[in-house]
Structure 1
Amino acid sequence: MVDQQDDEAETAEQWQLVNTPLGEKWSGRTRYAAAMYFYKRGDMSAETLEVYRICARLDSENPLPIIRDRGTGQDWLKRMGV
């Protein structure tokens, strides 16, 4: 059983990873892996996760404008502060 403190630490780490700066090598894949964590927790829709998947190989591509343009993931965009 995962205790709350461990869960909070894992979530904080994944939050940092989903916010990996654009353009860093492997950053798209890093953001996608972290997005998968939030999807599995129920914090992200499948449509939003799909945008992260599409952007996974594009280290300089910001998934957030694409999510906004598709009209999905409004809760996620609010959480991201956009």
Structure 2
Amino acid sequence: MSDEAEREAAEQWQLVNTPLGEKWSGRTRYAAAMFFYKRGEMSAETLEVYRICARLDSTDPLPIIRDRGGGQDWLKRMGYK
């Protein structure tokens, strides 16, 4: 991976981890999730949860992903139990 691609991935990783409750944070997390989906690093089902949560800045998508029973690789990557 090139330095530029690594920097982009690192930036998107920070964005997908934007703290809950910040204005526009749900949309920020969704946009970053789309980046990882397009790279094949996230399932469509997981991306859908981020889409649902996009307008809900205080809603953590990770418990919803877990409750739906999908996205186990993503949850592991996020360090979510």
Where on the TM-score scale, by shorter chain, does this alignment land: which range? Answer: over 0.9
User: TM-score normalised to the size of structure 1?
Assistant: 0.96
State the SS of the aligned residue for 1:50: helix
Unaligned runs of 5+ in 2: none
Letter in 2 for 1:6: E
Aligned-pair identity in percent equals 84
Residue matched to 1:72: 70
TM-score, normalization by structure 2: 0.97
Aligned mates of 1:49, 1:8 — CA distance in 2: 21
2:49 maps to 51
Q: Secondary structure at the match of 1:14?
A: helix
- The partner residue of 1:62 within 18, 43, 60 is 60
Q: Distance in 2 between matches of 1:34 and 1:23?
A: 17
Q: CA deviation at 1:63?
A: 0.0
Which residues of structure 1 form unaligned runs of 5+?
A: none
**Letter of the 2:3 counterpart:** Q
Shift of 1:58: 0.1
Distance in 1 separating the partners of 2:72 and 2:4: 28
Could you say which residue in structure 2 is the equivalent of 1:9? 7
Ranges of 4+ aligned residues in structure 1 off by more than 6 Å: none
Counterpart secondary structure, 2:55: coil
